[in-house]
Amino acid sequence: MHAVRFPGETVSYRDARDRLLAAEGELRRHLEKVAALRRKLPVDAPVAEDYVFEMESADGTGRGVRLSELFIPGKDSLLVYSFMYGPKMQRPCPSCTCLLDGLDGIAPHVAQRTNLVVVAKSPLLRIREFARERGWRNLRLLSSAGNGYNRDFHGEDANGAQWPVLNVFAKRDGRVHHFYATELLFAPPERGQDPRHVDLIWPLWNLLDLIPEGRGTNWYPALDYARP
């Protein structure tokens, strides 16, 4: 399929690799097809409430900010990740934390194209303390402790349990509409499959899928790891 070869590779390796390469090309085409279908979703679900969140102001104090105010002028889409850190949780979700460790690094790049915020149900001070512990510098962190956003957009269930969901909103003619959510979280998974609803924005799993051992079946991220 191409002329590039690597030191020491055998004919059997190249045959297997070319079959895989064809499958990778097919996967890429399918990912692009799905992305095109996503972009064609109708923008016709207006958000009934202009939720007021709490965010940290420039002087370090908290201030209220409405959902409609999270759109920077000229950028009419908004990504909102629901971070599993509720007021009854002693520590945040390790998997969410792993994902956000990565998003914090790319947030300045994302900001060139669109708006990105992270919402958690805990009080703002608690969220900010954890962010400083992790060294996050770029994420826009909001508290939804004073509104019903988590419940309405499925970052929380009826019992108060927190869920990791990414919602996308779009502003049209001054009004905010719900555009997309990572609903694979709620669909019945195929046998032996995790929901994997946010894998596309989570570098960890994409890297581990490249190694012979794969991502494994019983390993998940932790907040801390024992030093060797």
In a domain, 35, yes or no: no
Cβ–Cβ < 8 Å for 211, 78 = no
* Structure confidence by residue, pLDDT tens digits, 23-50: 999 999 999 999 999 999 999 999 999 9
In a domain, 126, yes or no: yes
Mean pLDDT within 68-81: 97
Share of the chain above pLDDT 70, in %: 99
pLDDT digits (tens, 9 = 90+) for 87-108: 999 999 999 999 999 999 999 9
Nearest Cα neighbor of 121 from 200, 51, 203, 195 is 51
Domain extent at residue 99: 52-183
First-to-last C-alpha distance (Å) of the chain: 43
Is the model more confident about 112 or about 59? 112
Asked if pLDDT for residue 61 goes beyond 90, the answer is: no
Any idea what the CATH number is for the domain that residue 110 is in? 3.40.30.10
Which of 82, 207, 99, 202 lies closest to 148, judged by CA? 82
Q: Within a domain: residue 16?
A: no
Establish if 148 belongs to a structural domain: yes
The residue among 111, 106, 30 whose CA lies nearest residue 77 is: 111
Tokens of 124: 């703002």
- pTM strictly above 0.85: yes
CA-nearest of 224, 182, 203, 186 to 79 is 182
Residue 32 lies in a domain: no
pLDDT-based confidence at 170, cuts 50/70/90?
very high
What is the C-alpha to C-alpha distance for residues 209 and 218, in angstroms, rounded to an integer? 14
Dihedral sign (CA 66, 71, 77, 81): negative
Distance CA 220, CA 228 (A): 18
109-132 pLDDT, tens digit each:
999 999 999 999 999 999 999 999
Which of 169, 205, 167 shows the shortest CA–CA distance to 183?
Answer: 167
Residue 228 clears pLDDT 80, i.e. is over it: no
Does a structural domain hold residue 19? no
Beta-bridged to residue 35, according to DSSP, are none
Number of domains in the chain: 1
Given this model, what pLDDT does residue 181 score? Answer: 97
Amino acid found at 184: L
Tens-digit pLDDT profile for residues 180-203: 999 999 998 888 777 789 999 999
Q: Are 96 and 164 in contact (CB under 8 A)?
A: yes
φ, ψ for residue 117, nearest 5 deg: -135, 160
Residue 90 in domain: yes
In a domain, residue 125? The reply is yes
**Nearest to residue 134, comparing CAs of 108, 98, 162, 85?**
98
Q: Once rounded to an integer, what is the mean pLDDT over residues 9-26?
A: 97
The mean pLDDT value for 135-160 works out to 97
